A and B are shown apart, each in its own frame.
Chain A
């Protein structure tokens, strides 16, 4: 029994305000829930899932797995070596989809990749062969890989290879090309292909040498530092990029490579504030895959988009995808671009939010809140709201502005449906038309439908 006088009792109230008033009038403190009904139509599934006796323990296990996974950069290799990727087989971002449903940016990136691999001489020829069904596609997630925006990977593209010693999982991600006209935003002009060739000929081998000499580089530790330096790990990766470069520099300098190449590599990496995104993403993938496949867990382990569909995966349901239509982000546009030019949401980079950073750590990145269309207080409120959707916090990644509270971690499908509040994702926007490239950046949410479908599937797995 609760001991002591009433003054020691604190009651959480949900429902009729008069009961809270009656407690307050007795001098009892209450914390009153701003209660709203669950998303209409999900009541029965939610009840079944909430009453699943495995849920609380399974979610605690998922949180522990996610927050204790390691992620070290162990190698830089071409995709045919790192992922056994064959020529003519391509990885893409998001859930599976067929060529006929692919949006402009994904088509553009595939055209560029076909040309880059020498499987066609011109863009027109590449498109004709893609149309004719000459090539095969697969979500990067199915190979333990992740890719920003279109996320297209072909067999000779170079990959970062990250390893988690705790689970012995490996996750891969391509090397970041920079901003503007780049393959991942759907551009495939000659300058894009030329850059990819330089990345394959010079950048990849140089970083391989540097990484192999430096030894495993702890990416989780760099992320811990970067989020105390104003990076949220999705739309801002400036500090992380420079910290990684710092790790490589001694080995690069001593590599014996032509000094011109070293200078080019250093200039390329340090000149691209998003270079480190492609290391944050596979690190987050290792965290979330560690939490996958725990029966009864309602924790989201993947959020990914292919520009047509938004898909999520949930721990208790392992690799099953739950999809809904991808939304157009709300944000700022480059130049004269406007909402009509933007493609719906695309990319695996929402793996960062799935692991508790990006939009979830918005409070730590006040420098970019205006870029994504908000104020500093919006950023603080966003992170506070995301705590309410998550099963816990990640003590390894502390947010100074939140009094060193860990980042909100482990999106709970039931919390999303019960509150009607969606995870916030910070994202870039690709042009709708193949070949255009980036048109802006902003904020986006998954469609509620993904969570509705996941809850129904979770409910079906609850043993009566």
Chain B
């Protein structure tokens, strides 16, 4: 067995791209382990934990390569593959004329290359505020996909945006639709009369998918970030987003989806919504508030279309053993919604993102009783891609829960869309087949999503999972299974 560590300076690639390169290297004959990553503290620790020697004096702008292989030949093959993968560089169809055009090193430089309206930022959270300030200075509406941006920086950015009349979406804005174009983890939606203002990601995606399910289109969905309605941020982006939607004649109904705002912020938003000329549905999520499915039903009523209950795929209800409910989510809002329903039916639940009055899991995230994990939480995504792209962490946990004798039912969400994993269902379906534990899935997607909503649902149902297009309905069925097992 041969091990080799190499440092390449001055070569930056994004973490998702490097993850793919690492994976391709590991797949080579004779290569047992490989890591190609930027030398962040986290990645260096990772390299060491993989049994490689710690490289000296590296900075996050250095690329580190660790390869473990059967022999020198395999190392050489890995190097050849690495060189060609890195030489290929970023793909994609920019506006570069391919001659001697210098690629833009900053957002402002890019905005000077071609007239643009919007910036989409997914740079590392620690420095994303720098890029966002640059985008606002360039006069662009800005979406920050990156998480781990501090609330102080968020407020400062939103003040700059307000100074200049620009919309800042995020930080941690997973989803947006602007003029029918999906940004980030967006679903493919058909144009229609609805405009959405949503905290961040999966709540908005779920609402769009539910509306799509009854044929209601969405023209814009503006994400404002999970903290926008907090006392610190004072709904700065929500108010701008409401004005933008109000000014758009194609929008006849506005929906606001958010966790319950701080009291004084709720007043601000309600007062602002009352001044708009467009009808506005406020859909706050929380104890005693309607769930997303109920909100979708209210929107359908406002638009004047009839409501049909969201679909369910799957066979008869399986038998389940005694034990606890385990929720494994990639969507924070979906996890919150499921916990709200579960808490009201089953009592206090534990989580890494506990509700008020909920139990917080310790750092080991060991399940205790009814337990819900959000794999998309900031703390779980430091230095790694979001679980909608890289499902490995959740798959590992899923297998562990399925094998756990104290687990009665597993509740999962799967989120489809343009930037999500190409086929999230198949790995999950394979695990569902291997174990007897019942699995209930909330499948969030639209008719036009590239993964194929029907195909994903069918693959899961055929493996024995119970699949719902409504997260609330999925949660209720999972709870019913837990209850029946206890009876």
Asked if A31 contacts B113 (CB within 8 A), the reply is yes
Q: Roughly how many angstroms separate A47 CA and B156 CA in the complex, as a whole number?
A: 10
Q: Is A53 an interface residue (CB 8 A)?
A: yes
A55 partner residues in chain B, CB cutoff 8 A:
133, 137
Known: A12-B140, A43-B127, A50-B129. A2 touches B117 (CB 8 A): yes
Q: Roughly how many angstroms separate A46 CA and B133 CA in the complex, as a whole number?
A: 10
Known: A12-B111, A388-B104. A32 touches B419 (CB 8 A): no
Q: Return the contact of B90 from the options A28, A32, A387, A420 (Cβ within 8 A).
A: A32
B436 partner residues in chain A, CB cutoff 8 A:
none
Nearest neighbor of B14 in chain A, beta-carbon distance: A16
Q: Return the contact of B116 from the options A24, A31, A37, A47 (Cβ within 8 A).
A: A31
A15 partner residues in chain B, CB cutoff 8 A:
14, 120-123, 131, 145-146
A419 partner residues in chain B, CB cutoff 8 A:
105-106
Asked if A34 contacts B105 (CB within 8 A), the reply is yes
A47 partner residues in chain B, CB cutoff 8 A:
127, 129-130, 153
B183 partner residues in chain A, CB cutoff 8 A:
11, 19, 23
Q: Roughly how many angstroms separate A414 CA and B108 CA in the complex, as a whole number?
A: 12
A34 partner residues in chain B, CB cutoff 8 A:
90, 103-105
Q: Roughly how many angstroms separate A12 CA and B102 CA in the complex, as a whole number?
A: 15
Nearest neighbor of A35 in chain B, beta-carbon distance: B123
- Taking CB atoms and an 8 Å cut-off, the chain A residues in 18-58 that contact chain B are 18-26, 28-40, 43, 46-47, 50-51, 53, 55-56
Q: Roughly how many angstroms separate A34 CA and B244 CA in the complex, as a whole number?
A: 31
For B368-388 the 0/1 string (1 means CB < 8 A from A) is 000000000000000001000
Asked if B90 contacts A22 (CB within 8 A), the reply is no
- Taking CB atoms and an 8 Å cut-off, the chain A residues in 375-399 that contact chain B are 377, 380-381, 384-385, 387-388
Asked if A10 contacts B115 (CB within 8 A), the reply is yes
Q: Is B76 an interface residue (CB 8 A)?
A: no
Q: Is B119 an interface residue (CB 8 A)?
A: yes
Known: A10-B115, A387-B112. A1 touches B244 (CB 8 A): yes
A377 partner residues in chain B, CB cutoff 8 A:
100
Q: Roughly how many angstroms separate A12 CA and B109 CA in the complex, as a whole number?
A: 10
Q: Is B414 an interface residue (CB 8 A)?
A: no
Asked if A22 contacts B102 (CB within 8 A), the reply is no
A316 to chain B, nearest CB (A): 15
Task: Give the segment of B157-165, B281-289, B296-304 that binds chain A.
Answer: B157-165
Q: Is B78 an interface residue (CB 8 A)?
A: no
Asked if B107 contacts A29 (CB within 8 A), the reply is no
Asked if B179 contacts A37 (CB within 8 A), the reply is no
Q: Is the interface of A mostly helix, strand, loop or mixed?
A: mixed
Q: Is B313 an interface residue (CB 8 A)?
A: no
For B71-114 the 0/1 string (1 means CB < 8 A from A) is 00000000000000000001111110000111111111111111
Nearest neighbor of B160 in chain A, beta-carbon distance: A53
B86 to chain A, nearest CB (A): 13
Asked if B110 contacts A12 (CB within 8 A), the reply is yes
B287 to chain A, nearest CB (A): 34
Q: Return the contact of A30 from the options B93, B153, B156 (Cβ within 8 A).
A: B93
Nearest neighbor of A384 in chain B, beta-carbon distance: B102
A6 partner residues in chain B, CB cutoff 8 A:
179-181
Q: Roughly how many angstroms separate A33 CA and B133 CA in the complex, as a whole number?
A: 15
Q: Is B126 an interface residue (CB 8 A)?
A: yes
Asked if A415 contacts B389 (CB within 8 A), the reply is no
Question: Which of A30, A33, A56, A415 has most chain B Cβ within 10 Å?
Answer: A33
B307 partner residues in chain A, CB cutoff 8 A:
none
A38 partner residues in chain B, CB cutoff 8 A:
127, 130
Asked if B118 contacts A2 (CB within 8 A), the reply is yes
Q: Is A17 an interface residue (CB 8 A)?
A: yes
Q: Return the contact of B106 from the options A3, A30, A418 (Cβ within 8 A).
A: A418
Asked if B135 contacts A12 (CB within 8 A), the reply is yes
A46 partner residues in chain B, CB cutoff 8 A:
127, 130
A272 partner residues in chain B, CB cutoff 8 A:
none
A13 partner residues in chain B, CB cutoff 8 A:
119-122
Asked if B248 contacts A1 (CB within 8 A), the reply is yes
Q: Roughly how many angstroms separate A279 CA and B10 CA in the complex, as a whole number?
A: 39
Asked if A30 contacts B244 (CB within 8 A), the reply is no
A388 to chain B, nearest CB (A): 4
Q: Roughly how many angstroms separate A377 CA and B93 CA in the complex, as a whole number?
A: 24
Q: Roughly how many angstroms separate A80 CA and B126 CA in the complex, as a whole number?
A: 54
Q: Roughly how many angstroms separate A29 CA and B104 CA in the complex, as a whole number?
A: 15
Q: Is A263 an interface residue (CB 8 A)?
A: no
Q: Is A214 an interface residue (CB 8 A)?
A: no
Known: A1-B247, A21-B91. A11 touches B179 (CB 8 A): no
Asked if B60 contacts A12 (CB within 8 A), the reply is no
Q: Roughly how many angstroms separate A19 CA and B16 CA in the complex, as a whole number?
A: 11
Nearest neighbor of B164 in chain A, beta-carbon distance: A56
Asked if A9 contacts B145 (CB within 8 A), the reply is no
Q: Is A4 an interface residue (CB 8 A)?
A: yes
Asked if B245 contacts A14 (CB within 8 A), the reply is no
Asked if B104 contacts A33 (CB within 8 A), the reply is yes
Q: Is B124 an interface residue (CB 8 A)?
A: yes
Q: Roughly how many angstroms separate A66 CA and B170 CA in the complex, as a whole number?
A: 36
B140 partner residues in chain A, CB cutoff 8 A:
12
Q: Is B203 an interface residue (CB 8 A)?
A: no
Asked if B133 contacts A51 (CB within 8 A), the reply is yes
Question: Which of A14, A23, A39, A419 has most chain B Cβ within 10 Å?
Answer: A14
Q: Is A421 an interface residue (CB 8 A)?
A: yes
Q: Is B319 an interface residue (CB 8 A)?
A: no
Nearest neighbor of B122 in chain A, beta-carbon distance: A15
Q: Is B365 an interface residue (CB 8 A)?
A: no
Known: A14-B122, A51-B156. A4 touches B418 (CB 8 A): no
Q: Roughly how many angstroms separate A418 CA and B184 CA in the complex, as a whole number?
A: 24
Asked if B92 contacts A51 (CB within 8 A), the reply is no
Q: Return the contact of B104 from the options A25, A31, A381 (Cβ within 8 A).
A: A31
Asked if B179 contacts A380 (CB within 8 A), the reply is no
Q: Roughly how many angstroms separate A41 CA and B278 CA in the complex, as a whole number?
A: 48
Q: Is A335 an interface residue (CB 8 A)?
A: no
Q: Roughly how many angstroms separate A381 CA and B100 CA in the complex, as a whole number?
A: 7
Q: Roughly how many angstroms separate A17 CA and B419 CA in the complex, as a whole number?
A: 10
Q: Is A133 an interface residue (CB 8 A)?
A: no
Q: Is A260 an interface residue (CB 8 A)?
A: no
Nearest neighbor of A24 in chain B, beta-carbon distance: B93
- Taking CB atoms and an 8 Å cut-off, the chain B residues in 328-377 that contact chain A are none
B92 to chain A, nearest CB (A): 5
A263 to chain B, nearest CB (A): 47
Nearest neighbor of B146 in chain A, beta-carbon distance: A15
Q: Is B270 an interface residue (CB 8 A)?
A: no
Q: Is B394 an interface residue (CB 8 A)?
A: no
A23 to chain B, nearest CB (A): 7
For A396-423 the 0/1 string (1 means CB < 8 A from B) is 0000000000000000001100111100
Asked if B178 contacts A30 (CB within 8 A), the reply is no
Asked if B163 contacts A11 (CB within 8 A), the reply is no
Asked if A36 contacts B127 (CB within 8 A), the reply is no
Known: A33-B110, A38-B130. A11 touches B182 (CB 8 A): no
Q: Return the contact of A17 from the options B16, B126, B138 (Cβ within 8 A).
A: B16
B160 partner residues in chain A, CB cutoff 8 A:
51, 53
Q: Return the contact of B17 from the options A12, A17, A23, A51 (Cβ within 8 A).
A: A17
Q: Which 9 A-B pairs have the closest CB atoms?
A: A15-B122, A34-B103, A50-B133, A40-B59, A419-B105, A388-B109, A51-B156, A10-B116, A31-B110
Given contacts A12-B138, A20-B120, A34-B103, 9 further A-B pairs with CB under 8 A are A3-B179, A10-B114, A12-B140, A13-B119, A18-B16, A28-B181, A31-B113, A51-B160, A377-B100
Residues of A within 8 A of B (CB): 1-6, 8-26, 28-40, 43, 46-47, 50-51, 53, 55-56, 377, 380-381, 384-385, 387-388, 414-415, 418-421
9 example contacts (A-B, Cβ-Cβ < 8 A) are as follows: A1-B179, A1-B220, A3-B248, A12-B140, A15-B131, A32-B94, A33-B110, A37-B127, A40-B60
